[in-house]
């Protein structure tokens, strides 16, 4: 496939900032269509990507599916699985924003359908390409500085005490709303990448903001096969943020504050992948050491563009995408175990 024709379904924050810019700069991909019924969003898409076709709804895309190779789905959560299924049934590969589906059973069915059809199906876990996470992976691979890791701490904490009307506050299970499905999908995926499928899951999941009906504060503890414990914090009501990462080993620790800079850059309309993309200033670097002796460690450059480069390569050579549908199934199994744990106040065993 010389150039895959991509249809982007949805042009809200996700489509406009996290998908379209990377599709546009990735060799082997062409942003051929944007699907949105919102006139203002349609105008923005045409302005930034001259020549892109704007379709009013997903039905218009399915009726012309033979003209496209890849559907990128970044619509409200309740549509992710149904639109992924429709794309596959119409012969299109699919990239699906998180959460991949509202349940592990639904995700497993999609993975099986993609397998039967011989089509690429990939969850969009761009946070694997955060610079700080890449730094953690490098330190773990090197081994010497941290030694045998026994605890991995990871946080996505925000101070957003006011509720915003919309589907993200819905209590309908089909909307897969709440902070565990949202930010938790990223933190769980990162822990699985580093340490594999957990054996046990414990969680505390709460709605803390005044008037909130959906979870906005959570703690998850995962015990992995190798003995590492992952402690994951998620909150929209954190008036003081803890470290983004704190990795403890028997030879040292790595501690990192602050968030990867790519999201802020994308929100301002920056074009990804240019000189200095994903770089952090030295003042933001994490620290590595033990006791009273710590030194700064340069943060690896972040590179969300590498996800779409991997998608383009997989479409060309038929190989595995950078994130597989099976990865999403496991992540959703952990989320379901976390909810069971919180509701029953027990530790849940995973098969």
What tens digit of pLDDT does each residue of 77-93 get? 999 999 999 999 999 99
Q: What is the C-alpha R_g of the chain?
A: 20
**pLDDT band at 165; cut points 50, 70, 90:** confident
Is residue 217 within 8 A of residue 206, CB to CB? The reply is yes
Vertex 322 angle, CA 317 and 323, to 5°: 130
Tokens standing for residue 202: 């414990």
**pLDDT band at 273; cut points 50, 70, 90:** confident
Angle, helix 131-142 to helix 179-195, in steps of 10 degrees: 30
What percentage of the chain reaches a pLDDT higher than 70?
A: 100
Tokens standing for residue 206: 């709460």
pLDDT 10s digits, 173-187: 999 999 999 999 999
pLDDT at 346 over 90: yes
Return the pLDDT at 230. 98
Q: What is the mean pLDDT of the chain?
A: 96
What percentage of the chain reaches a pLDDT higher than 90?
A: 95
Which one, of 58, 335, 52, 343, lies nearest residue 192 by Cα? 335
* Secondary structure letter of residue 312 according to DSSP: H
Return the pLDDT at 166. 86
Q: What is the value of pTM for the model shown?
A: 0.95
Beta bridge partners of 201: 222, 348
CA 305 to chain centre: 14
Return the pLDDT at 136. 98
Q: Range with the lowest mean pLDDT among 28-32, 112-116, 160-164, 297-301?
A: 160-164
pLDDT at 278 over 90: yes
What's the CATH number for 4-124?
3.40.50.720
Return the pLDDT at 1. 59
Task: Match 């489509």 to its residue by tokens.
Answer: 15
Return the pLDDT at 62. 98
Residues 197-234 as b or e (16 or more Cβ within 10 Å = b): ebeebbbebebebeebebbbbbbbbbbbeeebbbbbbb
Return the pLDDT at 2. 78
Burial class (CB in 10 A: 0-12, 13-18, 19+), 78: middle
Return the pLDDT at 167. 84
Is residue 235 within 8 A of residue 209, CB to CB? The reply is no
Q: Where are the domains of the chain?
A: 4-124, 130-302+333-349
Return the pLDDT at 164. 87
CA 306 to chain centre: 14
DSSP H stretches of helix in the chain: 13, 20-25, 39-48, 58-62, 80-89, 104-117, 131-142, 179-195, 262-267, 305-317, 325-344
Positive or negative CA dihedral for 246, 323, 131, 265? negative
Task: Match 């995700």 to its residue by tokens.
Answer: 107
Average pLDDT over residues 22-27: 96
What's the CATH number for 130-302+333-349?
3.30.360.10
Which one, of 12, 96, 1, 34, lies nearest residue 329 by Cα? 96
User: What string of DSSP letters covers 63-84?
Assistant: TTGGG-SEEEE-S-GGGHHHHH
Rounded Cα distance between 297 and 16, Å, is 33
């Amino acid at each position: 496939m010389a150039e895959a024709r991509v249809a982007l379904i949805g042009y809200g924050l996700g489509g406009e900032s996290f998908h379209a810019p990377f599709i546009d700069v990735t060799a082997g991909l062409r942003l051929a269509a944007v699907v949105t019924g919102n006139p203002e969003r349609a105008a923005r898409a045409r302005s930034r990507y001259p020549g892109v076709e704007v379709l009013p709804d997903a039905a218009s895309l399915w009726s012309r599916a033979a003209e496209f190779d890849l559907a990128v789905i970044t619509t409200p959560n309740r549509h992710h699985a149904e639109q992924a299924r429709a794309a596959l049934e119409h012969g299109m590969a699919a990239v699906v924003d998180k959460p991949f589906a509202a349940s592990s059973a639904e995700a497993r069915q999609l993975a099986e359908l993609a397998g039967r059809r011989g089509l690429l199906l990939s969850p969009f876990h761009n946070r694997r390409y955060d610079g700080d996470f890449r730094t953690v992976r490098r330190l773990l691979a090197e081994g010497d500085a941290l030694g045998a890791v026994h605890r991995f701490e990871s946080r996505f904490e925000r101070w957003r005490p006011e509720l915003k009307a919309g589907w993200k506050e819905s209590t309908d299970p089909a909307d897969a709303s709440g902070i565990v499905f949202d930010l938790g999908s990223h933190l769980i995926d990162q822990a699985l990448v580093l340490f594999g499928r957990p054996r046990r899951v414990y969680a505390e999941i709460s709605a803390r903001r005044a008037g909130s009906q959906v979870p906005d504060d959570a703690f998850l503890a995962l015990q992995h096969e190798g003995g590492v414990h992952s402690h994951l914090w998620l909150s929209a009501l954190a008036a003081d943020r803890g470290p983004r990462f704190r990795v403890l080993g028997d030879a040292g620790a790595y501690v990192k504050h602050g968030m990867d800079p790519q999201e802020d850059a994308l929100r301002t309309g920056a074009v990804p992948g240019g000189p200095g993309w994903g770089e952090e200033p030295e003042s933001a670097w994490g620290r590595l050491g033990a006791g009273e002796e710590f030194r700064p460690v340069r943060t690896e450059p972040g590179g969300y563009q590498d996800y779409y480069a991997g998608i383009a390569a997989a479409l060309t050579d038929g190989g595995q995408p950078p994130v597989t549908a099976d990865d999403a199934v496991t992540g959703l199994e952990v989320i379901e175990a976390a909810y069971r744990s919180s509701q029953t106040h027990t530790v849940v065993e995973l098969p």
